Structure 1
Amino acid sequence: MQCPKCTSIQLQKNGNRRGKQNYRCKDCGCQFIASYTQRGYSDDAKQICLRMHRLGLNIRKIEQLTGISHSTIRNWIRQSEQS
């Protein structure tokens, strides 16, 4: 493993962040975790919800079927209308 900023291999453990090991580079002082995970919903889930809305399902029904919050779905619809 190496520092993402300076590519040094001089690292030390530096606590935990959200249950993952946190590292600090001894050369540049950069803090990072070994691997980052994407948060949020996938693009496929977003497209499915938008397709359901275009087919006439209301936002609350889409929420019941998918388990995705109605406010998130509403935000996606607004974003797609602005594009």
Structure 2
Amino acid sequence: MQTCPRCDQTKRQNKAGKTQSGSQRYRCMHCGCKYTPERKQHGYSDDVRKQALQLYVDGMNLRRIGRHLGIHHRTVSLWVKASAASLPEVPVPKEVKTAEMDELFTFIGNKKTGSTSSRS
């Protein structure tokens, strides 16, 4: 038997439809309160979120994580952004004393195009 959360009555509790998620709603005939005793959880569990974030940190891309866990890749993207926003700021050093470079070549400047047409 259901108990009204407002008046704690167990008698005269009638069914009053269902919520969008499919949970049964009840109405207390004593005080008129409508309530849902056992709400269904929306969204994904914390374990799934942690697993998605761990896969992202390990280098897996968003779409592959989505396919692997059976969730949409945009959902994973939102979780990553929310997690990144909650991280503390990384302190930037004021002065760099030693820098290590590798043999990577980088083009600096404007990209040269093959044909440039100038109109007068």
TM-score range, shorter chain: 0.7 to 0.9
Worse-matched range after superposition: 36-45 or 12-21: 12-21
Which protein is richer in helix relative to its size? 1
Q: How many matched pairs?
A: 83
Which protein is richer in strand relative to its size? 1
Residue 17 of structure 1 corresponds to 19
Residue 4 of structure 2 corresponds to 3
Aligned-residue Cα RMSD (Å) equals: 1.7
Shift of 1:32: 1.8
* Sequence identity (%): 37
> Which one-letter code corresponds to 1:14 in the other structure?
A
Residue 62 of structure 1 corresponds to 65
Q: Report which structure shows greater RCO (CA 8 Å, sep ≥6).
A: 1
Structure 1 CA distance for aligned equivalents of residues 35 and 71 of structure 2: 30
Deviations 1:3-56 (A, max 9, x none): 022212232222333544321012221112342121111100000000000011
Runs of 4+ in 1 over 3 A off after TM superposition: 16-21
1:26 aligns with 2:39: no
Residue 45 of structure 1 corresponds to 48
Asked which structure has the greater CA Rg, the reply is 2
